[in-house]
Structures are given as structure tokens and as C-alpha cells.
């Protein structure tokens, strides 16, 4: 990917970055100034690439039936007196992921399908914090994102273990291709 393109909108069209930003801001109603709105509308009347961007915005956001299919799974885990209890949602109970609890309820294992294999995510609780270990027979770069930190570890012969996670939402990204959101609750 070209670093120069990152965060810039001008690559969306042959027009200037400033103009494309105005097109987007008029589309979502951030800009309401009549003169600017009319200037933008007059521009898109004769600029095919900006018109395509503008139309696509409305097609994506004006439709309440926006595609629900996504590659993220949400799991919620409660910790009560040191025991972990998975609160499976209907989505989690689908074929995409199965949540299994170990005998003593201190570890919750999530089996998550990824790239023709299964990633095993084991959540445990000790010393007032959660640990999340990711096991895979493949080498996968795992990003852990919480409200306060972003760590990257790689699975391999050893699991990728993220330690000392608080009572919060965490996001696990596997090779930045699939995502698993886990809500860790401490009661």
C-alpha cells in the first residue's frame, strides 16, 4: 500500500483532497452552508468520479438494510468469584464460533475458525486481571486492542499470551483479516 494515500481522500477522485472532503461532508450533512452545498452539487454534476463517490455514499448509508454479514464475532465473559462464565449470544452460538467452558469454570475457551483452521482462545482470570492466550498451529500475527493499549504478538510453537487485561472490551485481530471482540466483565 502506498503510504502517501493513507488518510487522504484525493485518491478517491482526480479532484483535490479539499474538494473530495467537501463532497463527503455535503453527503453526510456536516456541511449545510447553501453556497458550499450548491458549489459541490454543481461540481458533481460534471465530475463522474465525485458523483460516483457521492451516489455510493447514499446507497450505502441510506439503506437501512445495510449488509449484516460481517467477519467479527462478539463474545461476552463474566467473572464471578474467580470463575469465568461465558454469556453466549445467538451470533456466537452460530457455526462461526463455539464457546466451551472448562470444568472448573476458570478458563473459557473460544474456538474460532480462521483460514481453514481453528484458533483456540483461552481466557483466564487471576490476580484481579484477565489473561488471553491465543493458540494456533499456524503463525498468525495477533493484535490486541483495548481502550488503553495495542499489543502485537505472533502465534507459533508457543501461544500468544496477552496478560493483565482489565474489566473492558478487547478486540483481537488475526492477521488483520478477522476480528473477535470480547467483553470481559468482572462482577
Q: What residue ranges bind other proteins (CB under 8 A)?
A: 1, 3, 5-9, 11-12, 20-21, 24-28, 30, 37-38, 41-42, 44-46, 48-49, 51-63, 66-72, 143, 145-152, 169, 171, 173, 175-179, 181
What b/e readout covers 18-43, taking b as 16+ CB neighbours within 10 angstroms?
Answer: ebbbbbbebbeeebeeeeeeeebeeb
How far is it, in rounded angstroms, from Cα 110 to Cα 127? Answer: 22
Q: Look up cell 476480528; give the residue.
A: 179
Q: Are 72 and 112 in contact (CB under 8 A)?
A: no
Question: At its nearest, how many Å lie between other proteins and the CB of residue 62?
Answer: 7
Question: What minimum distance in Å lies between the beta carbon of 64 and other proteins?
Answer: 11
CB of 12 to other proteins, least distance (A): 5
C-beta of 143 vs 186, nearer to other proteins: 143
Query: Which lies closer to other proteins via its Cβ, residue 65 or residue 81?
Result: 65
Q: For residue 97, count other CB atoms closer than 10 A to its CB.
A: 20
Closer residue to other proteins in complex, CB, 33/128: 33
Question: Which of helix, strand or coil describes residue 84?
Answer: strand
CA distance 87 to 183: 10
Q: How far is the CB of 167 from other proteins (least distance, A)?
A: 14
Would you say 27 or 160 has its CB closer to other proteins?
27
Cα–Cα distance, 6 to 3 (Å, whole number): 6
CB of 124 to other proteins, least distance (A): 22
DSSP annotation of 148 reads S
Instruction: Give whichever of 2 and 157 is closer to other proteins, judged by the CB atom.
Output: 2
Amino acid at each position: 500500500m502506498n503510504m502517501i494515500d493513507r488518510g487522504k481522500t484525493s485518491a478517491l477522485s482526480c479532484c483535490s483532497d479539499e474538494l473530495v472532503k467537501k463532497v463527503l461532508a455535503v453527503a453526510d450533512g456536516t456541511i449545510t452552508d447553501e453556497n458550499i452545498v450548491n458549489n459541490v452539487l454543481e461540481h458533481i454534476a460534471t465530475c463522474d468520479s465525485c458523483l460516483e463517490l457521492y451516489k455510493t455514499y447514499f446507497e450505502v448509508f441510506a439503506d437501512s438494510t445495510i449488509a449484516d454479514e460481517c467477519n467479527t464475532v462478539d463474545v461476552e465473559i463474566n467473572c464471578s468469584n474467580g470463575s469465568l462464565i461465558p454469556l453466549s449470544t445467538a451470533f456466537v452460538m452460530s457455526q462461526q464460533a463455539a464457546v466451551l467452558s472448562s470444568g472448573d469454570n476458570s478458563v473459557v475457551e473460544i474456538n474460532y475458525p480462521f483460514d481453514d483452521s481453528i484458533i483456540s482462545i483461552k481466557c483466564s482470570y487471576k490476580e484481579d486481571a484477565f489473561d488471553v492466550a491465543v493458540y494456533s498451529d499456524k503463525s498468525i500475527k495477533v493484535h490486541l486492542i483495548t481502550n488503553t493499549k495495542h499489543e502485537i504478538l505472533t502465534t507459533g510453537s508457543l501461544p500468544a499470551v496477552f496478560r493483565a487485561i482489565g474489566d473492558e472490551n478487547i478486540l483481537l485481530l488475526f492477521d488483520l483479516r478477522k476480528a473477535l471482540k470480547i467483553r470481559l466483565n468482572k462482577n
